[in-house]
A and B are shown apart, each in its own frame.
Chain A
Amino acid sequence: MTEVRESELPGVGIRHEFTTTDGVRLSVVTHRSGRRELCVANRDDPDAFRPVVILDEEDSRTLAELLGASAVVRDLHDLKQRVEGLAIDWLPVREDSPYAGATIGDARIRTRTGVSVVAVIRGDDTLPAPGPQQGLRAGDYLVVVGTPRGIEDLVTLLRAG
């Protein structure tokens, strides 16, 4: 897995950067509004990045799918369009998360947020329909279904416990 560097842009959002196998350095600025800027580094100046494309949230999702996000997400996306008020998201389990190394049951996700974990994505593997004894590791992605508010709560829960 490529190393992605993350830095906060206070008041704006968050910035990610990584280097492709070909040596092109890419950066994504995610604004709080959900707008994303995809930028490429200048050849002659290592610190300057030129915005190439600007994407809104919908565009980003489309692009992510085109770039080969897991089939699970595509299915869920269809489902989302069918059920009003239901939100689906991928949430990372970061290294500093208190639940990296714990189980879904330890985190009491459903009790505390009402959100269901429908799959755990670990590297190239998808572990569908995980039970409460399913372990969580740093670097896992949780595919979750619930209300938008519940998912927000879950983000906080995964980060801060």
Chain B
Amino acid sequence: MEPAPLLLELGAVVLGLAVLARVAGRLGIPAIPFYLLAGLAFGRGGLLPLPATAGFIQAGAEIGLLLLLFMLGLEYSAAELVGAVRTSGLPGGVDAALNFVPGFAAGLLLGWTPTAAALLGGVTFASSSGIAARLLEDLGRLANRETPAVLSLLVIEDLAMVVYLAVIGGFAGGALAWSRLASSALVLAAAIVVVAIALKVERRISRIVFSESDEALLLTIVGVTLVAAGAAASVRFSAAVAALLVGVVLSGPAAEAAKPLLRPLRDFFAALFFVFFGLSVNPARLFPALGVAAVLAAVTAATKHATGWYAARRVGIGPRGRMRAGTVLIARGEFSIIIAGLAGGAVSEPVAPVAAGYVFLLAAAGPVLTHLADPLSALWDRTRDRLARRTP
């Protein structure tokens, strides 16, 4: 391939994404839905085919996926994961029941295979911890009393992701076979062992990885993550889970120093990941899927809100705090896309268009709703007062 077309095309794509990120910033919503749209526009049968850069975007998307999961693992130390399970295990179970089931049921009703339905269940289950964390920070809610409950719930979901990815990774890609089931069990066992070891020695590992030089630290971490993911994939272990586990094992000074270094890198490659996902969706199949996506979005926005409401009420939070906790969890984003894109090929063929429409709706609606949480509570109070007055 001539370098000139590659550079021009890639430059144009990245500039296009830059414009979209600005627009999203102005509107106060996350950029993910816009990236998906851009991917759709470039994709098969789309407006702008990308002959020169498709290969680069695909490779970039894989790196983006690994970095997203690695940074997710980095957010939490093994001790926090264990602590969250102890304090919020019950809301976590409620969360899974209320939000996995609608997607799973919808998939079955549409006549999909159980594996594809389980993928859709994962899509509706996973709140976007990226969007939620950003909203809590931007809206100055970190000090609120309901916030520990919200964050614990997100941690539980992320932990559930490890289990889910391990299991679904075994099933996806074809028919169910015992060897796949066995490899799922192996991945799970390995994940448990890694977290257990991390509890003991994470500080020591972090010390080995840590370097005063930013450059050395960045290269070490990216290298370790890619090698771990590649090694995992070569023995049919989930590369995604491996990247996440590497993140969990790192903590302390190495993790703190790595976050600001990796963030721009992750943002770049994650954008490519979302574009690539959009590319893989056939626009002809998107429009029929939009109806399903809209219904699912409405149902699971309500169930997720109920989850947050319940988790907050459980720790003695008042109605307004419960409203904030419920609405901040509604946004779905990176994880739903990761799950939908994970299986690839024939299994995720029906899932991808629904997931794209679904994430598009909720990544935009979630932040808007939680911005309005306090006015919504006030409105609710007024309506209730009026009703109470009417019936003395």
Tell me the A residues contacting B by CB distance below 8 Å: 7-12, 15, 17, 27-29, 32-33, 37, 39, 45-51, 152, 156
Contact = CB atoms under 8 A, between A and B. Distances in A.
B230 interface: no
B143 A51 contact: yes
B151 A11 contact: yes
B145 A46 contact: yes
B76 A11 contact: yes
B148 A47 contact: no
Nearest to B155: A10
B147 interface: yes
Interface in B275-329: 317-318, 320-321, 324
B84 interface: yes
A152 B151 CA distance: 25
Interface string B249-286: 00010001000000000000000000000000000000
With most chain A CB atoms within 10 A of its CB, the pick from B133, B151, B155 is: B151
B9 interface: no
B83 to A, nearest CB: 6
A45 B319 CA distance: 9
Contacts of B320: 45, 47-48
Contacts of B321: 45-48
Given A45-B318, A47-B321, A50-B140, A11 B133 contact: yes
Given A47-B318, A49-B143, A32 B84 contact: no
Interface residues of B, number: 30
Nearest to B377: A45
A25 to B, nearest CB: 9
B361 to A, nearest CB: 26
Among A46, A47, A49, A51, max chain B CB count under 10 A is at: A47
B148 A11 contact: no
A49 B317 CA distance: 13
A32 B147 CA distance: 16
Given A11-B75, A33-B256, A51-B140, A17 B145 contact: yes
A118 to B, nearest CB: 25
Contact of B148 (A15, A37, A39, A51): A15
A51 B139 CA distance: 10
Most B C-beta atoms less than 10 A away, residue of A8, A28, A37: A8
A12 B318 contact: no
22 contacts: A8-B84, A10-B80, A10-B154, A11-B129, A12-B133, A15-B147, A29-B143, A33-B256, A37-B143, A39-B143, A45-B320, A45-B321, A45-B374, A47-B144, A47-B145, A48-B144, A48-B145, A49-B144, A49-B145, A50-B140, A51-B140, A152-B252
| Smallest CB-CB A-B distances: 3 pairs | A47-B321, A39-B143, A49-B143
B143 A27 contact: yes
Nearest to B88: A10
B334 to A, nearest CB: 15
B224 interface: no
A10 B146 contact: no
B256 A32 contact: yes
B299 to A, nearest CB: 27
Given A10-B80, A15-B148, A48-B324, 16 more contacts: A7-B148, A8-B83, A8-B148, A8-B152, A9-B151, A10-B151, A10-B152, A11-B133, A27-B143, A32-B256, A45-B318, A47-B324, A48-B141, A49-B145, A51-B140, A152-B203
